[in-house]
Amino acid sequence: MDHRDPDSHGRRQSGHECRRHAGDRRVLRHGTMSAAQTVHTAAHPEQALREVHLYKEMLKIRETELQLARAYRDGHVMGACHTYVGQEAVAVGVCAHLQVEDAVFSTHRGHGHALAKGVAATEVAAELFGRATGCSGGRGGSMHLFSPEVGMMGTTGIVGPNILQAVGAGYAFQLNGEDRVAVAFFGDGAVNNGAFHEGLNLASIWDLPVVFVCENNLYATEVPFAYSAGNPEVAMRAEGYGCPGRVVDGNDVMEVDTVAGEAVARARRGDGPTLLECKTYRTRAHAEGMPEVGYRTQEEVDSWKARDPIALLRSHLMGTERVAADEISAWEDEAREEALAAIEFAKASPWPDPSTVFDFVDSSDSAEAARRS
């Protein structure tokens, strides 16, 4: 596979399934389609409402990320800032099937996952600004977003361990007989990590309610995935663990929505884990302040921008003639205003109280003793 060719990156996979052995443990190949090929008619109003909801969710992430990137350039964001621009369809399509009680474990590029899971944009922005009103109280920053109230169990700056955390959560849900699902989001850079092997193997052995979502955006920082993997088709690895693997067009939110829904339902039934390989692309630099090209060409970036997930769904919505252009413009304006309001909220929020520096480090008694010393 040519890592510079977006068509080969999201190419249609032939065949339906190849069984590893008897039963339902298998590797599935899911064909890739564009949003315009996901045909829905006016006779399906519920589907139309869902498409609009998914569109608005992607807009929320996009506009928030663009404002956070600007805030980073203006010196307001503490630490690194890895934006999710271009990959919104994955977080939105997966999280659309999750309940508040379900648990998401994310990565350094986790703003989109947090927003899709229900963390308020104000709390995300305030956290990146290091303010007390942030979802982690200003202690975590961009790479450590935490909001258990909505099932956002944390992002991490370390590549891979969140896979194991999701497996642990799934094991706890199974032991306690809870109707809950754990989801691990990770990039292609994590799949050669031992945590990937251990996590998928154990989840498959015990049929844990876990969905593994690999956001294959072609690069681990600036290293092409094709250079670091003998077989760059991540979903095929599921066969070795005896669980289903699905290849998904990660820029088509409706396709992600469909396939993720099946994976979440499977996990919730107690039928075990699924590995989703969502083939997508980040159109901004690995992190704000780093170069966007050099390790990749501008032509490659532009070719992926032409397949922007928001633009694809916008084109589909307008093509069905169920949504007028002025309605879409109004939604875009609303998302932009909410993102700007989140930035203003963060700027106006207080810094954490220095006297709380030992909070959450150890037990409350230890923290109190340290404060008095």
Give 104-116 pLDDT, tens digit per residue.
999 999 999 999 9
Residue 368, pLDDT score: 60
By CB atoms closer than 10 A (0-12, 13-18, 19+), residue 160 is buried
pLDDT at 33 over 90: no
Residue 38, pLDDT score: 43
Q: Higher model confidence: residue 5 or residue 80? A: 80
How far is 234 from 245, CA to CA, in rounded Å? 8
Give residue-wise pLDDT tens across range 118-150: 999 999 999 999 999 999 999 999 999 999 999
pLDDT at 8 over 60: no
Give residue-wise pLDDT tens across range 281-300: 999 999 999 999 999 999 99
Residue 47, pLDDT score: 86
How far is 94 from 89, CA to CA, in rounded Å? 8
How much is the average pLDDT of 322-349?
A: 96
For residue 167, what are its two tokens? Answer: 């497996």
Lowest mean pLDDT among 61-70, 324-333, 360-369: 360-369
pLDDT bracket for residue 35 (50, 70, 90): very low
Query: Collapsing DSSP states into helix, strand and coil, what is residue 172?
Result: helix
Superfamily of chain region 6-372: Thiamin diphosphate (ThDP)-binding fold, Pyr/PP domains (3.40.50.970)
The one-character DSSP state at 285 is: -
Angle at Cα 110 formed by Cα 107 and Cα 116, nearest 5°?
130
Question: Measured on CA atoms in the order 341, 343, 346, 347, is the torsion positive or negative?
Answer: negative
pLDDT at 218 over 80: yes
Residue 362, pLDDT score: 76
Cβ(110)–Cβ(88) below 8 Å = no
pLDDT at 15 over 50: no
pTM value?
0.86
Alpha-carbon torsion, ordered 200, 90, 232, 298, to 10 deg: -150
